[in-house]
Amino acid sequence: MGCAQSSPCVPMFRSKLSAQEQRNTDTTRKETNETNNKTVPCIVVYVTVTNKEAGKKLAESILKARLAAFVNAVPEVKCYLENRGEIQTYYEELLIIKTKESLLEALTEHVKANLGYTLPEVVALPITGGYTPHVDLIKVRTRD
């Protein structure tokens, strides 16, 4: 049974939290309105990498630096682009990174330093809602 059915995943996920993370999440949840998720400005950042190995290495370094709370990897994303009048296609791995808005600049610098691309793809979107306990973990699991 996968995480698409969120009920079975929540207890498993909660059990992996440290006692301190659980206290911080509970405190944060009490301080915020359950319906507006305005605890801290959070974002989802899309970063593409050339392959699975590069994605794993970058995801692990981002998490170790506490620049994000969660990183999802989507393999074999087919990319299309126009270059000099021709449509080109290729495959990349997409990292979906959840972090605080205040860490975007540091995350971008980390991606640039660790990928070595001239023009890395780093695109941020605001998180405007979601399941409050999950969104609150972004604050708990990232650095200040």
Q: How many CA atoms lie within 13 A of 144 on its CB side?
A: 0
The CATH number linked to 36 is: 3.30.70.120
Residue 88 lies in domain = 12-141
Task: Count the domains in the chain.
Answer: 1
Over residues 86-129, the pLDDT tens digits come to: 999 999 999 999 999 999 999 999 999 999 888 999 999 999 99
For residue 20, the model assigns a pLDDT of: 63
Cα-based torsion angle of the residue sequence 77, 83, 88, 90 in order, rounded to the nearest 10 degrees: -40
**Per the domain annotation, does 22 fall within a domain?**
yes
**Per the domain annotation, does 5 fall within a domain?**
no
**Per the domain annotation, does 92 fall within a domain?**
yes
**Per the domain annotation, does 67 fall within a domain?**
yes
**Per the domain annotation, does 1 fall within a domain?**
no
**Per the domain annotation, does 131 fall within a domain?**
yes
Over residues 40-75, the pLDDT tens digits come to: 799 999 999 999 999 999 999 999 999 999 999 999
